Amino acid sequence: MKAVEIKKDIYWVGAKDWNLREFHGYNTPDGSTYNAYLIMDKNITLVDGVKHYMTEEQLSRMKSVVDFNELKYVVVNHVEQDHSGSIPQIMKLAPQAEIVTNMAGKQALEAHYDTTGWNFKVIKTGDVINIGSRNITFLTTPMLHWPDSMMTYVVEDKVLMSNDGFGQHLCCEALFVKDYPNDLVFKNAKSYYANILMPFGKQAQKALSGASELKLDIDMIAPSHGLIWSGKEEVNQILSAYGYWAEGKSENKAVVVYDTMWGATAKLAETAMAEFQDAGINVIKYNLGITHISDVMTEVLDAKYVLVGTPTLNNQIFPRVAGFLTYMKGLQPQNKKGFAFGSYGWKPGVVMEVKKVMDDLGWIKTEAFEEKYTPKSDVLEKFALQLRNFIKSDN
């Protein structure tokens, strides 16, 4: 396996995980890549590793352009194991290399691996290392999405090696966004943000602001996962999208997510969908028995209204709905209007537990509706009227 040159003397030496189908509960039907970059200069520099079981693929690509005893620096932008899994083997092959990371990164590497004999060069935002004809500088981005997270910028080539920022869980033959359908890349970029970075909107805003303060002139964004953004148009496109998502802005869109046992909650979901359609509001309806929770969250990211419906099972929230609520609460979507609804057989009140999750998230306004057994036409009309008033209250 050979390295691939992405700019003069800068090579992609990552690995492609065609078979990855799940990442921390996040559905990854298109697999993923673990991107690493090798900068050939007087002081040869590697930026990032790969997941441990893909180490040999990375080593093979590196060997096609460099001898390990020539490696001077190994930059670790992030210690999560899908980024750093190959680092111990690389350090065995290149014990003379210095690990370049921030203090949180050093501490995390020491916690994860046996770092005996490793030489560390600890950096902070704005520090510069000259590697020959090039200078590399750094932007620490703590909690985007780990304490150690940071980005590396190659000044002369205008390349930002952005770690998890601007990535996608997407594996294909292409390396560049321009060589793949743009709408599919953005779908995956949005899904990645929604399911991994959404809780860290403030940190994302700080990262964007930090790049501006450092006056980084970015012509290429090379993330740790997925395809590489090249040229000002693509770079500005993804930077603009991140600015929008990080601010928690919403479209005039509703997401109705539910599960059902005998169809009662499904009838309420259908009524809810019809009311938003009649109001001229885009609406998407998801049955959790069919749709993965991470696909739902991709649409929740920029939705104004989120409605969650549950039947009652053993006096509890239906398990798939409870799982979705736990997942959603962890991702902390903001600035939503929520509506909890559902059905029960002999014990009411479970829907109020759904409403409480929405209230705990600090959503602008939440309501609830619950019905015993199958809702008849008069009940559905009552529900529809409450929905109309819910929609009108914001228009």
Candidate list 148, 225, 258, 371, residue with the active-site label: 225
Candidate list 192, 193, 305, 344, residue with the active-site label: 192
Active site residue 112: no
Candidate list 41, 57, 148, 164, residue with the active-site label: 164
Candidate list 30, 57, 78, 371, residue with the active-site label: 78
Active site residue 270: no
- Asked if 355 contacts 242 with a C-beta cutoff of 8 angstroms, the reply is no
Candidate list 57, 80, 98, 299, residue with the active-site label: 80
Candidate list 24, 56, 67, 114, residue with the active-site label: 24
How far CA 25 is from CA of 223, 322, 323, 327, 330, in Å, comes to 21, 14, 10, 9, 12
Give the dihedral of Cα atoms 165, 166, 172, 178; nearest 10 deg: -150
Candidate list 98, 145, 259, 275, residue with the active-site label: 145
Candidate list 17, 48, 57, 82, residue with the active-site label: 82
Active site residue 83: no
Would residue 218 be called left, alpha or beta, if left means φ above 0 and alpha means ψ between -120 and 50 degrees? beta
Taking only Cα atoms into account, the Rg of the chain, rounded to an integer number of angstroms, comes to: 24
Active site residue 17: no
Q: Please state, in angstroms and rounded to a whole number, the distance separating the CA atoms of residues 223 and 368.
A: 42
Residue 267 makes CB contacts below 8 A (sequence gap 6+) with 374, 375, 380
Among 295, 303, 352, 363, residue whose Cα is nearest residue 329: 363
Which DSSP string corresponds to 299-362?
Answer: HHTTEEEEEEEE-EETTEE-HHHHHHHHHHHHH---S-EEEEEEEESS---HHHHHHHHHHHTT
Owner of token pair 């321009």 = 178
Active site residue 52: no
Element (H, E) at 60: helix 55-63
- In the chain, the amino acid numbered 75 is V
Question: Which residues are catalytically annotated?
Answer: 24, 78, 80, 82, 145, 164, 192, 225
